[in-house]
Amino acid sequence: MPSPPTVPDVMRFRISGVLTNDAAWGVRIYTGYTGGVPTVANMLTLCEGVGTAWNDTVVSFQNIGVTTTEIDGIDLSATDGAGNTADVSYSGVADTSPTPNQVAAVAKFDIARRYRGGKPKMYIPGIDSQYVSDESHWKTSFADDMGSGMNAFNTAIKATYADAVTLTGIVNVSFYEGFTSVENPITHRWRNVPTYRDVALVDVVGGFTVDQVFGTQKRRRLA
């Protein structure tokens, strides 16, 4: 099985936790960084910093029964890049009632490049029902405030560092280009297998906008 390409000066972080009924959830971001090769100890500090940024800017929109439990990070610059996990306990603030597990706010990442499939995005679960406008939409004020919260999250990311290693903000990483059609030798059915790029494409995220339309993330609840 081919391996994904390394991505110089980029880290991946996963923010995860549990919803009000103990179902697991998770979101994933990629960030650029400067300052040389991070150590395992650096990665723990950076994971803690990302968690603090998330807690300060996004968690307030989640229901009080939703918890963030860990942030894990890994340096993608090498196949053996340093990684670590920070155990945290951040609870949502809003206390009306939870929305269903599959309902999410969709934060779109604004990048300069355009490509088939649309813009990169993040599905944020656990949003409180006080922000619901109708059976399929968030309130306009929530979409605006959540967009501002995501921009504040990115600003806080840029202020996160460990020794000489400093995060430079959220990026989009494209690992795949096209696909190869592969036949199952038993069923003789064909499927398209994505093809890894030789060199990953990295796009700087300039800002965030949040859709008023509900996102559905049954298949994306764990990033």
Residue-wise pLDDT tens digits, 75-99 = 999 999 999 999 999 999 999 999 9
Q: Does any domain span residue 66? A: yes
Residue 220 φ then ψ, to 5°: -115, 10
Q: Does any domain span residue 223? A: no
Close Cβ partners of 77 (under 8 Å, ≥ 6 residues apart): 6, 7, 8, 9, 10, 37
Q: What is the Cα 123 distance to its own chain's centre?
A: 8
Residue 114, both tokens: 């355009």
Tell me the mean pLDDT in the region 147-151.
Answer: 98
Nearest alpha carbon to residue 108 among 181, 15, 205: 205
Which residues span the domain enclosing 35? 10-216
Q: Does any domain span residue 38? A: yes
- For residue 157, how many C-alpha atoms fall within 13 Å in the half-sphere facing its CB? 24
Domain count, the chain: 1
Q: Does any domain span residue 71? A: yes
Integer Cα distance of 141 and 134 in angstroms: 14
Integer Cα distance of 213 and 82 in angstroms: 38
C-beta of residue 131 within 8 angstroms of C-beta of residue 151: no
Between 68-72, 79-83, 190-194, the lowest mean confidence (pLDDT) is in 190-194
Q: Does any domain span residue 3? A: no
Helices 40-57 and 140-158 cross at an angle (nearest 10°) of 150
Q: Does any domain span residue 222? A: no
Supply the pLDDT for residue 70. Answer: 97
Supply the pLDDT for residue 65. Answer: 96
Q: Does any domain span residue 2? A: no
C-beta of residue 205 within 8 angstroms of C-beta of residue 172: yes
Tell me the mean pLDDT in the region 157-166.
Answer: 98
pTM of the model: 0.91
Give SS3 for 204.
Answer: strand
C-beta of residue 217 within 8 angstroms of C-beta of residue 122: no
Q: Does any domain span residue 139? A: yes
Integer Cα distance of 60 and 57 in angstroms: 7
If pLDDT is split at 50, 70 and 90, which confidence band does 218 have? Answer: low
Integer Cα distance of 197 and 195 in angstroms: 6
Supply the pLDDT for residue 1. Answer: 59
If pLDDT is split at 50, 70 and 90, which confidence band does 219 have? Answer: low
